[in-house]
Structure 1
Amino acid sequence: MEKRKLSFWEIWNMSFGFLGIQFGFALQNANTSRIFETLGAQVDDLAVYWLAAPVTGLVIQPIIGYFSDRTWHPKLGRRRPYFLVGAILASIALCLMPNSPLLWMAIGVLWIMDASINVSMEPFRAFVGDNLPEKQRTLGFAMQSFFIGIGGFVGSSLPYVFSNWLNISSEAPDGVIPDTVKYSFYFGAAAFLLAVLWTVLRSKEYSPEEFEAFEEQEKATNEENQQEVTRKKQSSVGIGMMIAGLLGTMGIVFYELKKDLYILTVGIAIVGLLFLLASYLRSKKADNGFVHIMTDLLRMPETMKQLAFVQFFSWFAMFSMWIYATSGVTSHIYKTVETTSKLYNEGADWVGFLMGIKFLVAAIVAFLLPVLAKYTNRKVTHLICLTLGGLGLISYFFITDPDYLLISMIGVGIAWASILSIPYAMLTGSLPASKMGYYMGVFNFFIVIPQIVAASILGFILTTFFNKEPIYALVVGGVSMIIAGILTLRVKDEATTAINEQ
């Protein structure tokens, strides 16, 4: 039994929900630093406040993936219940975010909002692996990238549109979020819910019995004998990570380094402790979700391990831009740090519009990626795109006229389209169907971990080496993205022949 080939419009319907999800992420990425600064946050503290986003993703995505693999609702199916619940919660959080009166409340709402968006988003990645045969998966992820691009462009541009096209004021008293931002979040909340509802109502899923048949076919055509991870290996990994985390923490104390770095070292120690706990439970013959999750972390397919390095440097770069684009552009190009000034808000609105251009370019480029991959391969395609994105970020430092940033964002938009599709297309061919959701959740670690690292060290880097000038964070991000492109060449793409058959 094989999965049937879906029509273009069937793939369209199953991906349409990403349009709404990206409204949420685009509004979050383009406006969170602005909201935090308006409510009194200092520039060198922004990275820490942003930790809500990656930490919630780190926790939520593998859990949702694990349970969605084991869910079946007679009407909503396997993944769609999570689409719907996440969309409802995220829409509520989007309405609350711009109405936060205090900084700590905005940080708390960011946790809730990001967790809710992740509940909807994680199963969407597995949705492609579930429903599409291998030959259509690159197209499936390209379709998601298209909707991400359109949703991101509109969502990021909304404050600019409300201000410049609808003449709604982008200024507000000290400590108050401008109306342009509030209306943007309200619009985004409605778009999020409606787009996800479209996918929920217009898509179908295979039943557990059909998946069992697919699994048997997969075993017959592609024998995968994964060695059982031993308790001894889990113990050694756990001990090693705990020692590394504790030594790092001691180094921070001894050298009186920036306290943000505790996030990284303590986090490493905690993960080591979790491995030790899983090892102990295995010795007691325990068989539960936690043990399976921690065990399968060490059983990742080789392709997934190689892509982890690519993802790390790619998302480190993106997180650098999301955190510091507003402060970098307003201070370096607009020459102001006064958040209540007209010039600062013009710059902040322009950054939001630039983020939208990134998404628009990604939407246009999304369907060109399979063509380029057909004539080269997926690795070369990703290398080209990431290199263009890295050069785009580095160019921020050399530009004095903000209009020329549009050219920079074309490069970043091309990279964004590839980041959202090519790694997933390479990954799905190496994953067992029965654990598609779980491993997609684990793959999110390599999106979240670089964000945590960025939040931990970017403030330290700017303070120590660059006199707290945020524009240099974008340069560091650009270099990181180029490194990611180079690392793509060492990835083993197990399904390259499928691309050439499309």
Structure 2
Amino acid sequence: MEKRKLSFWEIWNMSFGFLGIQFGFALQGGFMSRIFQTLGAEKDAIPLLWIAAPLTGLIVQPIIGYLSDNTWHSRLGRRKPYFLLGAILSSITLFFVPYSPALWIAAGFLWILDASINISMEPFRALVADKLPDSQRSYGFVMQTLIIGIGTWIASNLPWLMTTLGISNEAAPGIIPMSVKIAFAIGGFVFLVSILYTIFTTKEYPPEDLEEFKKEKEDSRFIKDLFVSIKEMPSTMKKLGIIQFFSWFAFFTMWSLATPSLTEHVFKAPAPIEKNYNLEDSSQLAQFNEAGAKYQTAADSVGSAMGIYGLSSMGFALLLTFYTSRFRINRKYIHMFSLILGGIGFIIMKYIENPFYLNISFILIGISWGSILSMPYAMLSSSVNEKKMGMMMGLFNMFIVIPQIIAALGGINYVSKIFGNTAIAPMTLAGASLILAGLCNFLITEKKAISFQIE
């Protein structure tokens, strides 16, 4: 079927649901470690607590991709039923996460939250390939990056904004501050509303031959299709997988350990560990509360600084959109240099004493994030069978979640020791990993994947 080119607003509408998805991811990425530490987790245990996120992605995304490939609802279409289901589950979970009374409950909520976000997110990637001709797919993924950048910046600043409005960012030992609770509630509301906006403003193309589609659906089997898809995986996808491995190892390191690393290294305000204080002693209780207050304030500042990478990725996407409206782009070299800049952003954190300069680090990291969210998918979508777009996007997710699982199971703790035993060592590791990811772009040689103009 010949697909017509869509207008700016049509692409905006079909991508707008990513605002809510990114609210969920930004609150999860920026503040789950803060919740874990508030509930008593020690720094070295945090990556393992995060293992829920990549494990659920590994399981959920190929299944949802397969199901959405084989779904057609007369009113909701192919991908939108999964947008809606994921949004409802994510919104409910976002509300309850900061009310976790114990560490194991918070870790359990992270499992549910990440699975729910993945239910919504995976079909959004496939929707771009479903609706846009090849000449507009880079444009579609860049548009998603724009909206993701907006969502990251706003959501990352929500706890800081709540504190600025007078809502307390302090609480009793083991209790999540009210500023964080309200931020997560707002995130849940935005998640649901933005997804509903896309559902109501976007129509999907029906199968060209509905009867043939139904027959193929009856004959399809998940396990069989999974192995066939793995066997048919194009070489471009495998090469991109290597780049994705090092890219997502770096960002998982940031999400899980930026808060403990930066509150200690830059702000000199590490989270107090309850077992190191005798809380029945009034003077030690006062010391614990003072240290806790400093940590919560520093964590607000780290979250706000992390929001800069969302803003930077949005600016990068805008620049890329304007440039590619007139000139051909080399996706390979754009991605390479973007990842290297992000790596430099992580590495210079080691030398930062004034918190203001964290903004420079996160601006550079945002450039790499903007590229990660658009260039690999643009290169991939030119190389796979459109009838299996959901399944192939789900399989591509393996190259995202496997490095995160390795990182969570001790990869960060062990490998970061190469860079010393300091609090900032994991951020240096993230920088080295991103630079290595950038250099791996030399593996990409297929011309169709490398160069295409957005129209």
Pair in the same fold by TM > 0.5: yes
Q: Of 420, 426, 434, which aligns to 2:373?
A: 420
Aligned to 2:151: 151
Which one of the candidate residues 394, 398, 407 is aligned to 1:441?
394
Residue 400 of structure 1 aligns to a residue in which SS? Answer: coil
Partner of 2:314: 363
Q: Say whether 1:470 aligns with 2:423.
A: yes
The one-letter code matched in structure 2 to 1:367 is L
1:394 is matched with which residue: 344, 347, 351? 347
- Assess, with a 3 A threshold, how the Cα gap between structure 1 residues 476 and 205 changes in structure 2: closer, same or farther: same
Partner in structure 2 of residue 410 of structure 1: 363
Instruction: Tell me by how many angstroms 1:298 deviates.
Output: 2.9
Structure-to-structure mapping, 1:473-492, within 5 angstroms: 473-492=426-445
Instruction: Work out whether 1:292 is the aligned partner of 2:246.
Output: no
Distance 1:185 1:497, change over 3 A: closer
* Percent of residue pairs identical: 51
Distance of aligned partners of 1:378 and 1:370 in 2 relative to their CA distance in 1, 3 Å threshold:
farther
Q: Answer yes or no: is the 8 Å Cα contact 1:354–1:406 preserved in 2.
A: yes
C-alpha distance in structure 2 between counterparts of 1:484 and 1:353, whole Å = 26
Residue 48 of structure 1, CA deviation: 0.4
Query: Which residue in the other structure is 2:278 paired with?
Result: none
Q: Report the counterpart of residue 458 of structure 1 in structure 2.
A: 412
Whole-angstrom CA distance in 1 between matches of 2:205 and 2:155: 32
State the match for 1:170 in structure 2.
Answer: 169
Q: What is the CA–CA distance in structure 2 between the aligned matches of 1:210 and 1:470, rounded to whole Å?
A: 58
Distance in 1 of aligned mates of 2:442 and 2:414: 31
**Structure 2 CA distance for aligned equivalents of residues 91 and 411 of structure 1:** 31
Following the alignment from structure 1 to structure 2, what is the Cα–Cα distance between the partners of residues 478 and 398? 13
- The answer to whether 1:82 aligns with 2:82 is yes
- Paired with 2:229 and 2:420, the residues of 1 have a C-alpha distance of 41
Match of 1:195 in 2: 194
Per-residue deviation, 1:371: 5.1
Residue 326 (structure 1) aligns with: 259
Matched with 1:354 is 305
Q: Is the CA contact (8 Å cut-off) linking 2:79 and 2:123 kept in structure 1?
A: yes
User: 1:48 — aligned with what?
Assistant: 48
Q: Is the 8 A contact 2:342 2:434 kept in 1?
A: yes
Between 396-405 and 486-495, the greater mean CA deviation after superposition: 486-495
2:60 corresponds to 1:60: yes
Task: Judge conservation of contact 1:324–1:470 (CA < 8 Å) in 2.
Answer: no
**Cα distance in 2, alignment partners of residues 319 and 44 from structure 1:** 14
Q: Deviations over 1:382-402 (max 9, x none)?
A: 111111111001111110011
| Structure 1 runs of 4+ with >6 Å offset | 210-214
CA separation of 1:306 and 1:62: change in aligned 2, threshold 3 A: same
Change (3 A) 1:68 1:400: same
In the other structure, the counterpart of 2:284 is none
**CA shift for structure 1 position 167:** 1.6
**1: CA distance between counterparts of 2:311 and 2:177?**
25
Q: Which runs of 5+ in 2 are unaligned?
A: 214-218, 273-288
**Residue number in structure 1 paired with 2:71:** 71
CA RMSD of aligned residues (A): 2.0
CA separation of 1:497 and 1:478: change in aligned 2, threshold 3 A:
closer
Native 8 Å contact 2:37 2:271 kept in 1: no
SS in 1 for 2:208: helix
* Structure 1: gaps spanning 5 or more residues: 215-285
Aligned counterparts of 1:404 and 1:287: Cα–Cα separation in 2: 54
Distance in 1, Cα, partners of 2:453 & 2:314: 23
Whether contact under 8 Å (1:101, 1:176) holds in the other structure is yes
* 1:375, distance to aligned residue in structure 2 (A): 5.1
**Equivalence for 2:282:** none
**C-alpha distance in 2 between matches for 1:492 and 1:498:** 10
